[in-house]
Amino acid sequence: MALLEMRRINKTFGQVKALDGIDLQLQTGEVLSLCGENGSGKSTLMKILSGVYPSGDYEGEIWLAGERIRARGLRDMEALGVVMIHQELTLVKQLSIQDNLFLGCEPHQHGVLNEARMYQRACQLLQRVHLDIDPDTLVADLGVGQQQLVEIAKALGKEARLLILDEPTAPLTEREAQLLLGLIGELRQQGVSCIFISHKLSEVKAISDLICVIRDGVHIATREARQLSSDDIVTLMVGREIRQLFPREPHAIGDVVLEVGPVTAWDRQRPGVQRVQNVSFSVREGEIVGIAGLVGSGRTELMECLFASYEGRYQCPLRLRGQALQFRDNRQALAQGIVMVPEDRKRHGIVPILGVGDNITLAALPTLRRHGLLCEASETVAINDGIRRLRVKTAAASLPISQLSGGNQQKAILARCLMLHPRILILDEPTRGIDVGAKYEIYKLIYELARQGIAILMVSSELPEVLGISDRVLVMHNGQLKGDLPNDGLTQEAIMGCALRQEEASHAG
């Protein structure tokens, strides 16, 4: 008997059919990966399964271990052992690990918390996810990878039989992701089933028993993972063949346009700690420089220093076309043509309630004035131009940007940056959480910009991406620049080796 069976699931939002007769089956201790582009209906399906959409909000049947389930909400499904770990971490940063683990189901007597019991169970749960930290630690003090583990521990605390993981590795570095995948394998052996959503096909291949592909709300195929190659999956997802994920195009590389450094940046919280130590490098016109390194290696901080948006103390001398500069704030950086697409799209990128158009023109409004007043006509022209040039898929320019998919939001942000006519464009994780099709378009755009002579600095946690499009790779580790390598026969192993080998050397010394 299957642990889970979803039969003929239909779901409509107003006029739009989001899911059209989806079937899904899962046995105890199996890992199933759900693949599909953004907007294909994966998240909607998982929201139905996890009880976010209660029974009656959709058509179709859910059977769990032979029983028909009619959940009224999240809590009902959690009581049955179906727990979803959401894409955006849902921990309360101001509370401790232990408080978070039991949030909503705290052990208590007559409303008074039993803190000793909480502490003890928290220790046990953390042990199961191999996290060796005091449960009294504030979640705000943890790294993203550790927070992810706390989320899983929280789910285990609810006696989960079926874990739903929505993009759990997106914010993690390669190494952390590997550890997380190892943990899922361990849980599988303990009889915990898992539905896994990820845009990283190598992970999907490595971890799954089954792969289920959905496109436009329709079930396309469910196959055993070993029968499918990554190319097969992409073909099924997109419905057409993408010949090559990285559309490498030849482009001319000009003179050195920017010399940076030595950059040193101190931690915001602990002034004694250096996040970036004495890093120097240079960039040429039309060059694409990839910056690799673990989360926390100082890559984002380095870029923030360069863009003068770093919030701690830092030193960042620059030479732009030979002219020595030191910015006081990022307005001066913008004025010099240095533009950044931030890492955290939701927090630093979009203004969710504003329309797509307003988001695009946000940075360039001063240039759209006439006699001191905002000129609506030129704004409309600029918006239409940006939407067309970047192929932002939106029903209308006035649609709130929060309703667009991640890929289209990112394109809108890029449009905003391009309106400033950058000479140097910094991209921090430009394709995080974006589906394959949109990634491809963003890569093509990067090449187009490089051909126009714009120097591009791209931070990315995905090594295939760094290798796929960079001309040169900077390797950061522990705040230091460990390598400045031309991308010529470079491999992932060589980059990781460059970061880690030298760490061993420094440990020995």
Partner 1 sequence: MLDKPHVTLNLGSAAVPAATMRPTLRSLLQRHLQLLVMVLALLLIAVVFSITTDGSYLSARNVSNLLRQTAITGILAIGMVFVIVSAEIDLSVGSMMGLLGGIAAILDVWFGWPLPFTIVLTLAAGLLLGLWNGWWVAYRKVPSFIVTLAGMLAFRGILIGITEGSTVAPTSNTMGLIGQSYLPDAASVAVLAVAALVILGWRRYQRGLRQQLQLPTPAISREMMQVGAVLLLVLAGVLLLNSYRGVPTPVLLLIVLMLAGGFVARKTLFGRHVYAIGGNLDASRLSGIDVARTKLTVFALNGVLVGVAALILCSRLGAGSPSAGNFAELDAIAACVIGGTSLAGGVGSIYRAVLGALIMSSLDNGMSMMDVPTFWQYIVKGAILLLAVWMDSATRRRA
413 Cβ contact list (under 8 Å, min separation 6): 341, 345, 349, 350, 359
Nearer to partner 1, 176 or 465 (CB): 176
Integer-rounded Cα radius of gyration of the chain: 24
Between residues 21 and 143, which has the closer beta carbon with respect to partner 1? Answer: 143
Rank residues 303 and 417 by Cβ distance to partner 1 and give the closer one.
303
DSSP state of 346: I
Region at 249 (left for phi over 0; alpha for psi -120 to 50; beta for the rest): beta
Residues whose CB falls within 8 Å of the CB of residue 400, separated by 6 or more in sequence, listed in order: 352, 353, 354, 355, 356
Residue 265 beta carbon to partner 1: minimum distance, rounded to whole angstroms: 10
| Cα–Cα distance measured from residue 70 to residue 483, given in angstroms and rounded to the nearest whole number | 56
Largest CA distance in the chain: 73
- CA 146/CA 148 separation, integer angstroms: 5
H helices within 343-389, ranges in order?
356-361, 376-389
Distance in angstroms (rounded) separating the CA atoms of residues 461 and 484 = 17
Closer CB to partner 1, 409 or 478, in the complex? 478
H helices within 62-108, ranges in order? Answer: 74-79, 97-101
Nearest CB to partner 1, comparing residues 273 and 381: 273
Angle between helices 376-389 and 406-418 (to 10 degrees): 120
CA–CA distances in Å: residue 313 to residues 261, 270, 307, 320? 15, 11, 14, 22
Beta-carbon count within 10 A of 111 CB = 6
Residues whose CB falls within 8 Å of the CB of residue 66, separated by 6 or more in sequence, listed in order: 1
The Cα angle at residue 292 between residues 287 and 296, in degrees rounded to 5: 135
Q: Minimum distance from CB of 144 to partner 1 (Å)? A: 6
Q: Give which of 249, 320, 325 is closest to 285, Cα–Cα.
A: 320
- For residue 105, the minimal CB distance to partner 1 (Å) is 7
Torsion of CA 460, 465, 468, 469, to 10 degrees: -50
DSSP 3-state of 73: coil
- The amino acid at residue 385 is D
CB of 254 to partner 1, least distance (A): 35
Q: What angle do CA 172, 152, 220 make, to 5 degrees?
A: 75
Sites of contact with partner 1 (CB under 8 A): 73-75, 78, 86, 88-95, 99, 103-106, 108, 111-117, 119-120, 130-134, 136-137, 143-146, 149, 173, 175-176, 179, 182-183, 268-269, 271, 273-275, 277, 294-298, 311, 478-479
| Contact (Cβ atoms closer than 8 angstroms) between residue 339 and residue 426 | yes
Smallest separation (angstroms) from partner 1 to the CB of 501: 16
**Least separation, in Å, of the C-beta of 56 and partner 1?**
19
- The two three-digit tokens of residue 121, written as one number: 């169970």
Q: Which residues contact 428 (CB under 8 A, 6 or more apart)?
A: 300, 303, 340, 341, 342, 343, 459
Residue (117 or 423) nearer to partner 1, CB: 117
Q: What number of other Cβ atoms are within 10 A of residue 227's Cβ? A: 8
